[in-house]
């Protein structure tokens, strides 16, 4: 029918969380009608039909196989786009301060305020993280800083939305300002400018600060990613917000999540030295190609596109620009498009940041999203996450 929203097979698979083969089985059994679009060789499916099938299959799924429902009003990934409370993130990122986006995630209201933290909290957090060994990553300071911020907050066990929303700006401020300065003090009080001064000693241009702010906006949330689930599970036990953020940081530190940024940075570093084909070949020889492809965005990660657009507008050194272009062209020829991890690593190279900068940017940004999910989770029944196990060990010994 004219005006129907039509989905591709890949979009249906993502929406129903099933394989393409299962979709064809539904079609053959008459459970999901296909729509032929004139001039197109592929099949499409009406959104209304897909939603009816989703309701039917979810209602008849055996209880023992069903994970606890984790619905959210915060973030939606659909039709190749990322949305925060209904707003397209790729469109917001180049023009919206991170602080405004954080408030939008937490409250559903758009306003900007300066983020600040108590001086005593900052001083204690700095001293605590300074005791880490010299070989510690910059990211290693972040959990220490969060733990100190928690210990300094006597109201951390007050889980009301107003209290959690009030503590969030100070937490983000502490996470940034308790890290050591890498260069001159920031030119303004925006969180992006203050984070810049902790990650690089290079002077901050307006265009480069815009790109860093956009990276924070683009990484603030991503639906129910592994680290967000970890934070929500902690919040479901009524762990305080700081403890929930620490749970998220633990999951984020995995090499297949937030810590992948260092691998992408090293790949660009190798490409600068040996050429893009050699760097890509080495990555493929030892595993997968980091920084390219994303299962939720078959047609390309909109976050990567938005951030790369800003990075390419910076005055990149000639070899770096050629290398980034060559990496993208080489990977694209084999069907892999750059994602936000690649764009973030390219930004780190462009503005003189080290290999660990991407992880820290990711952690600071995603903390805003975790706080939003924690507030939402506190409104749900407590201890609601208890998956059924599938025991595969030896049978109990007989008496």
- Residue of 365 and 4 predicted with greater confidence: 365
Q: Which of 88-102, 129-143, 285-299, 359-373 has the lowest mean pLDDT?
A: 285-299
**Residue 61, in any domain of the structure:** yes
Q: Which two tokens stand for residue 264?
A: 């992408």
- pLDDT score of 394 more than 90: no
Residue 330: band (very low, low, confident or very high) from pLDDT cuts 50, 70, 90: very high
Q: Which residue range is the domain that position 40 belongs to?
A: 6-66
- pLDDT score of 5 more than 90: no
**Residue 146, in any domain of the structure:** yes
Cα 335 versus chain centre, distance: 23
Q: Which of 56-65, 195-204, 211-220, 298-307 has the lowest mean pLDDT?
A: 56-65
CATH code for the domain in which residue 26 is found: 1.10.1660.10
Task: Check residue 46 and give its pLDDT.
Answer: 87
Residue 244: band (very low, low, confident or very high) from pLDDT cuts 50, 70, 90: very high
Q: Is residue 115 located within the same domain as residue 253? A: yes
Q: Is residue 160 located within the same domain as residue 286? A: yes
Q: Contacts by 12-21 with C-beta closer than 8 Å and gap 24+?
A: 12/45, 12/50, 14/77, 14/296, 14/298, 15/50, 15/54, 15/78, 16/50, 16/53, 16/54, 16/57
- Residue of 381 and 40 predicted with greater confidence: 381
CATH code for the domain in which residue 147 is found: 1.10.580.10
Q: Is residue 301 located within the same domain as residue 370? A: yes
Q: Is residue 55 located within the same domain as residue 118? A: no
Q: Is residue 211 located within the same domain as residue 248? A: yes
Q: Is residue 198 located within the same domain as residue 264? A: yes
Query: Which strand (E) or helix (H) includes residue 280?
Result: helix 276-286
- pLDDT score of 66 more than 60: no
Q: Which of 23-27, 150-154, 307-311, 338-342 has the lowest mean pLDDT?
A: 23-27
What letter does residue 183 receive in the DSSP assignment? S
Task: Check residue 61 and give its pLDDT.
Answer: 47
Sign of CA dihedral 67, 72, 75, 79: positive
User: Mean pLDDT score of the chain, rounded to an integer?
Assistant: 91
Catalytically annotated residues: 294, 341
Q: Is 281 exposed, middle or buried (0-12, 13-18, 19+ CB in 10 A)?
A: middle
**Residue 178, in any domain of the structure:** yes
Using only C-alpha atoms, what is the Rg of the chain? 23
Residues contacting 216, CB < 8 A, separation 6+: 98, 101, 191, 192, 195, 361, 364, 365, 368
**Residue 154, in any domain of the structure:** yes
- Residue of 132 and 62 predicted with greater confidence: 132
Task: Check residue 148 and give its pLDDT.
Answer: 98
Task: Check residue 198 and give its pLDDT.
Answer: 96
- pLDDT score of 177 more than 70: yes
Please tell me the total number of residues recorded for the chain in this structure: 399
**Residue 397, in any domain of the structure:** no
CA distance linking residue 67 with residue 234, whole number of Å: 16
Q: Are 221 and 102 in contact (CB under 8 A)?
A: no
For 146-169, how does the pLDDT look when each residue is reduced to its tens digit (9 = 90+)? 999 999 999 999 999 999 999 999
User: Domain total for the chain?
Assistant: 2
Q: Is residue 207 located within the same domain as residue 260? A: yes
**Residue 228, in any domain of the structure:** yes
Residue 223: band (very low, low, confident or very high) from pLDDT cuts 50, 70, 90: very high
Cα atoms found within 13 Å of the Cα of residue 108, Cβ hemisphere only: 10
**Residue 393, in any domain of the structure:** no
Q: Which two tokens stand for residue 295?
A: 């299962």
**Residue 326, in any domain of the structure:** yes
Q: Is residue 184 located within the same domain as residue 331? A: yes
Residue 58: band (very low, low, confident or very high) from pLDDT cuts 50, 70, 90: low
For 67-99, how does the pLDDT look when each residue is reduced to its tens digit (9 = 90+)? 566 889 999 998 899 999 999 999 999 999 999
Q: Which of 69-78, 122-131, 196-205 has the lowest mean pLDDT?
A: 69-78
The SS3 call for residue 223 is coil
- Number of helices followed by number of strands (H, E) in the chain: 18, 6
Considering the chain, what percentage of its residues have pLDDT values greater than 90? 71
Q: For helices 138-151 and 119-130, what crossing angle results, to 10°?
A: 140
Task: Check residue 62 and give its pLDDT.
Answer: 43
Q: Is 282 exposed, middle or buried (0-12, 13-18, 19+ CB in 10 A)?
A: middle
Q: Is residue 30 located within the same domain as residue 170? A: no
């Amino acid at each position: 029918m004219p005006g129907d929203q039509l989905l591709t097979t890949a979009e249906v698979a993502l929406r129903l969380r099933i394989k393409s083969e299962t979709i064809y089985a539904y079609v053959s059994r008459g459970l999901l009608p296909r729509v032929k679009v004139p001039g197109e060789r592929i099949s499409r499916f009406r959104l209304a039909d897909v939603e009816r099938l989703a309701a039917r299959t979810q209602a008849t799924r055996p209880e023992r196989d069903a994970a606890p429902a984790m619905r959210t009003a915060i973030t939606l990934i659909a039709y190749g786009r990322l949305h925060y409370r209904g707003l397209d993130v790729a469109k917001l990122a180049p023009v919206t301060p991170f602080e405004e986006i954080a408030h939008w995630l937490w409250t559903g209201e758009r306003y900007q305020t300066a983020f600040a933290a108590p001086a005593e909290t900052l001083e204690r957090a700095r001293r605590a993280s300074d005791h880490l060994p010299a070989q510690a990553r910059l990211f290693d300071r972040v959990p220490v800083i969060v733990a100190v911020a928690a210990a300094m907050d006597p109201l951390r066990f007050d889980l009301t939305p107003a209290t959690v929303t009030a503590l969030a700006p100070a937490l983000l401020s502490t996470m940034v300002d308790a890290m050591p300065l890498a260069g001159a003090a920031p030119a303004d009080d925006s969180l992006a400018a203050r984070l810049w001064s902790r990650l690089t000693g290079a002077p901050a241009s307006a265009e480069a600060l815009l790109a860093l702010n956009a990276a924070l906006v683009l990484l603030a949330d991503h639906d129910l990613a592994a680290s967000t689930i970890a934070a929500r599970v902690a919040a479901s036990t009524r762990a305080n917000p700081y403890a929930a953020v620490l749970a998220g940081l633990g999951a984020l530190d995995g090499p297949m999540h937030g810590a992948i940024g260092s691998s992408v940075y090293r790949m660009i570093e190798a490409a600068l030295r040996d050429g893009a084909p050699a760097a890509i070949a080495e990555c493929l020889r030892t595993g997968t190609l980091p920084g390219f492809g994303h299962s939720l965005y078959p047609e390309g990660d909109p976050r990567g596109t938005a951030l790369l657009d800003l990075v390419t507008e910076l005055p990149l050194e000639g070899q770096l620009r050629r290398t980034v272009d060559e990496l993208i062209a080489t990977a694209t020829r084999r069907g892999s498009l750059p994602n936000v991890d690649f764009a973030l690593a390219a930004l780190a190279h462009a503005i003189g940041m080290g290999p660990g900068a991407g992880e820290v940017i990711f952690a600071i940004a995603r903390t805003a999203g975790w706080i939003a999910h924690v507030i939402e989770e506190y409104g749900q029944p407590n201890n609601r996450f208890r998956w059924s196990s599938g025991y595969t060990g030896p049978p109990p010994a007989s008496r």
